[in-house]
């Protein structure tokens, strides 16, 4: 469509023209789902209202974009909050884009951010998008929970390998030997490091680690369902004395599956998570986990975005401290 109108956008999105105007003006009155429908229609039709374009031109140095795989995951929400709080404090706008782990969706979101002329991008835990990042040459880019191998992009992480190593070693010291490891697909450096930490701890103590690694189907399901289904499958043929997971959501699914089978945690099986989302202290039993300083990650990303003259060669990797939080889900 050569010159799309606001009516064309509203028809495609299935909303009233007034709703499109509310989205364009960033009104809080519009639900997240409706807002996304309107933004998708704007992107598909290449609609860019003159008033909005003028607004963006005036404030283009004050807009940042953050791209996350799952805007419903509490882990990502707290990173976003850390960045947004800083943006609000210093007068920056923040555009939040969710990709649903879909590279085509990520391309759409990036195109929208480029048209908005954002001045900086934060990629959080995204995968297989190096070719997209490479094309962003006129703005500052920061990674969170994602490793840059080029030496050009600052990235903010914890020591993932050591964190899982510490968790697994603790369980071994408490007498656990048949320790299962449930992970998302280890298709990132972050998840590969966690797997190495588990394997190193098991090997150092003469324990078999290969047969106990289970990869969850968390993209086709969700992490809660993935953990739930994984543990149900495991206990059909074996009885672990501990389960290490790479996500609190996976661990919460595991707790549910064990509860339904009348298996007591931690008396019969210890369970650990990763991230320390707020839900973990309220589960029954409360979940032992690795704390990632999520809000701090967002705050540090903001510092890089507003100080684009930082010499990345000297500050490429920001390694934050993680805490092993021992709660009721493991033997003490």
Going from N- to C-terminal start, the domains of the chain cover: 1-47, 160-291
CATH superfamily of 1-47: lambda repressor-like DNA-binding domains (1.10.260.40)
93 φ, ψ (degrees, to nearest 5): -90, 150
Burial 14-38 (b: 16+ CB within 10 A, else e): ebeeebbbbbbeeeeebeeebbbbb
Neighbours of 132 (CB within 10 A): 18
pTM across the whole model = 0.80
CATH superfamily of 160-291: Response regulator (3.40.50.2300)
Neighbours of 93 (CB within 10 A): 19
Burial 113-129 (b: 16+ CB within 10 A, else e): beebebbbbbbbbbbeb
* 84, two tokens: 């947004």
- Cα–Cα dist 230/217, whole Å: 9
Task: Give pLDDT tens digits along the chain (332 positions).
Answer: 567 888 888 999 999 988 988 887 777 788 888 988 988 888 788 776 655 544 554 444 589 999 999 988 999 999 999 999 999 999 999 999 999 889 999 998 998 888 888 989 999 999 989 999 988 887 899 999 999 988 889 999 999 999 999 999 999 999 999 999 999 888 899 999 999 999 999 999 999 888 999 998 766 568 999 999 999 999 999 999 999 999 999 999 999 999 999 999 999 999 999 999 999 999 999 999 999 999 999 999 999 999 866 666 667 899 999 999 999 999 98
**N- to C-terminal Cα distance for the chain?**
65
Using CB atoms within 10 Å of the CB of residue 68, give its burial: 0 to 12 exposed, 13 to 18 middle, 19+ buried.
buried
* 24, two tokens: 């364009």
Helical ranges in the chain per DSSP H: 6-13, 17-24, 32-45, 50-59, 74-90, 103-115, 130-134, 160-173, 189-204, 223-234, 248-260, 294-306
- Cα–Cα dist 58/52, whole Å: 10
Per-residue confidence (pLDDT) for residue 50, from 0 to 100: 54
């Amino acid at each position: 469509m050569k010159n799309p109108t606001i009516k064309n956008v509203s028809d495609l999105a299935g909303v009233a023209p007034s709703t499109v105007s509310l989205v364009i003006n960033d009104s809080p009155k519009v639900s997240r789902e409706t807002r996304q429908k309107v933004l998708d229609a704007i992107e598909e039709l290449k609609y860019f209202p003159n008033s909005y374009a003028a607004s963006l031109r005036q404030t283009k140095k004050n807009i940042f974009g953050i791209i996350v795989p799952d805007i419903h995951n509490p882990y990502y929400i707290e990173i976003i909050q850390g960045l947004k709080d800083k943006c609000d404090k210093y007068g920056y706008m923040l555009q939040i884009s969710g990709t649903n782990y879909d590279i085509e969706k990520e391309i759409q979101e990036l195109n929208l951010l480029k048209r908005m002329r954002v001045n900086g991008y934060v990629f959080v835990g995204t995968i297989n998008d190096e070719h997209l990042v490479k094309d962003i040459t006129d703005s500052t880019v920061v990674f969170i929970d994602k490793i840059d191998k080029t030496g050009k992009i600052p990235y903010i992480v914890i020591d993932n390998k050591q964190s899982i190593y510490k968790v697994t070693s603790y369980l071994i010291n408490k007498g656990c030997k048949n320790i299962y490891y449930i992970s998302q697909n280890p298709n990132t450096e972050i998840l590969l490091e966690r797997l190495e930490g588990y394997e190193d701890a098991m090997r150092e103590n003469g324990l078999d680690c290969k047969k106990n690694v289970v990869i969850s189907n968390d993209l086709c399901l969700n992490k809660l369902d993935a953990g739930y289904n994984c543990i149900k499958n495991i206990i059909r043929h074996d009885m672990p004395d501990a389960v290490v997971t790479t996500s609190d959501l996976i661990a919460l699914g595991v707790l549910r599956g064990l509860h339904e089978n009348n298996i007591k945690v931690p008396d019969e099986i210890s369970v650990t998570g990763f991230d320390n989302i707020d839900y973990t202290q309220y589960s029954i039993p409360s979940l032992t986990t690795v704390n990632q300083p999520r809000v701090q990650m967002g705050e540090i990303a903001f510092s890089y975005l507003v100080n684009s003259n930082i010499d990345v060669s000297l500050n490429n990797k920001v390694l934050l401290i993680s805490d092993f939080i021992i709660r009721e889900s493991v033997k003490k």
